[in-house]
């Protein structure tokens, strides 16, 4: 093997073995790099190797006669080439000296045909992007801790399984469903909520509440807590005057179990009324006055929802996970969200 100190190749450099019997033959597509041009069409400054290429220290690929890739790159050997070994990077791509960057500056594989698989075994990955990153994939799996800083905009269905720890403000427009523990260290605002909410924080049941600026006292706040009960109830209230039929909301027909409806009447004024409920269904309540006096009363009407599973108030278990019924209609504070550390 000949050895040269310096050699300048003015046009193209080929490292290739000719096919048997083809020494000095014309262009062969299976042998010659037509994409680099051949003969008068040759693009100057090109290098072609028909086999494997190793750049850097051969100690990184030590198995004899066993190349690990078509292109193998390693850090130069400090013992044999100390000047070259000082480079900070093994591989670098830049556009500093020519055109502005484009999405095709670095391309792995071709769309449709020519796709490639990518395996990365890394200690750390740093990506500093000036505009945006687009990832199109039918399925993406992340295993391990994920920290996100900044605005996070998601469109479409998102399914999460396992613990989720979020700190800071989060804005969500659209449907959200959680199956697992959610820990949120910030207020949660939900203009529309589907399902039932239960406060659960381990040993203590807590209280469901809202806290707002006081509507009439400057510098004060107002906190109310929710009424609790064993059933998923809705109610209407109002005043019935000079008529005997209370018209219920139209949607009660599909929402409320008519057998669960209860009615409370409170006469108004100093007259004695003898009020009775003559008819009940999920569309109307008919009231009768025994002495045919003009009716004037307040009313409260409650009914249990029939579009959700009936609640099981008491059950044997150590956590909400032991609930014997269907959990899909329930969002449980302290279990599926708002998980707080015990003191």
For the chain, the distance separating the N- and C-terminal CA atoms, rounded to the nearest angstrom, is 77
- pLDDT digit string (tens) for 96-132? 888 888 888 999 999 888 999 999 999 999 999 988 8
Residue 304: the pLDDT is 94
What's the mean pLDDT in 60-64?
Answer: 95
pLDDT at residue 138 greater than cutoff 90: no
User: What is the torsion angle, in degrees rounded to the nearest 10, for the CA atoms of residue 82, residue 86, residue 92 and residue 96?
Assistant: -110
Residue 198: the pLDDT is 47
Residue 122: the pLDDT is 93
Three-state secondary structure call for residue 124: coil
Residue 201: the pLDDT is 44
Residue 182: the pLDDT is 55
- pLDDT digit string (tens) for 274-288? 899 999 998 999 999
Residue 209: the pLDDT is 78
- pLDDT digit string (tens) for 3-26? 888 889 889 998 887 665 555 667
Closest CA to 197 of 167, 239, 232: 232
- pLDDT digit string (tens) for 257-274? 999 999 999 999 887 888
**What's the pTM?**
0.49
Residue 25: the pLDDT is 65
Radius of gyration of the chain (CA): 38
Q: Compute φ and ψ for 267, nearest 5 degrees.
A: -60, 150
- pLDDT digit string (tens) for 300-337? 999 999 988 888 989 898 888 888 988 777 777 767 66
Q: How many residues does the chain have?
A: 343
> CB 72: neighbour CB atoms within 10 A?
15
> CB 256: neighbour CB atoms within 10 A?
26
DSSP label of 14: E
- pLDDT digit string (tens) for 166-203? 666 666 666 666 555 555 555 555 554 444 444 444 44
pLDDT at residue 338 greater than cutoff 60: yes
Average pLDDT, the chain: 83
Q: How far apart are CA 55 and CA 49, in angstroms?
A: 13
């Amino acid at each position: 093997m000949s050895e040269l100190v310096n050699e300048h190749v003015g046009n193209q450099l080929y490292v290739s073995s000719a096919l048997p019997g083809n020494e000095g033959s014309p262009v062969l597509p299976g042998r010659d790099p037509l994409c680099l041009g051949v003969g008068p069409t040759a693009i100057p400054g090109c290098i072609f190797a028909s086999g494997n290429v190793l750049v850097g220290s051969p100690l990184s690929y030590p198995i004899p006669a066993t190349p690990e890739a078509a292109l193998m790159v390693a850090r130069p050997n400090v013992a044999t080439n100390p000047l070259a070994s000082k480079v900070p990077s093994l591989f670098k791509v830049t556009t500093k000296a020519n055109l502005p960057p484009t999405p095709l500056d670095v391309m792995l594989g071709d769309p449709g045909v020519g796709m490639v698989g990518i395996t990365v075994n890394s200690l750390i990955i740093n990506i500093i992007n000036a505009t945006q990153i687009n990832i199109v994939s039918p399925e993406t799996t992340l295993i391990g801790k994920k920290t996100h800083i900044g605005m996070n905009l998601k469109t479409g269905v998102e399914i999460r399984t396992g613990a989720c720890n979020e700190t800071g403000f989060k804005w969500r427009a659209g449907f959200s469903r959680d199956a697992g523990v959610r820990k949120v260290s910030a207020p949660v605002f939900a203009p529309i909520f589907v399902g039932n909410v239960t406060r659960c924080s381990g040993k203590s049941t807590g209280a469901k509440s809202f806290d707002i600026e006081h509507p009439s006292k400057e510098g004060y706040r107002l906190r109310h807590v929710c009424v609790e009960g064993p059933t998923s109830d809705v109610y209407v209230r109002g005043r019935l005057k000079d008529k005997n039929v209370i018209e219920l909301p139209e949607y009660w027909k599909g929402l409320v179990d008519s057998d669960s409806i209860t009615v409370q009447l409170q006469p108004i004024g100093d007259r004695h009324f003898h009020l009775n409920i003559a008819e009940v269904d999920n569309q109307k309540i008919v009231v009768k006055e025994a002495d045919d006096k003009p009716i004037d009363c307040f009313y409260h009407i409650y009914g249990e929802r029939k579009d959700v599973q009936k609640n099981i108030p008491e059950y044997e278990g150590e956590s909400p996970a032991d609930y014997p019924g269907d959990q899909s209609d329930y969002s449980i504070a302290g279990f599926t969200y708002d998980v707080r550390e015990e003191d």
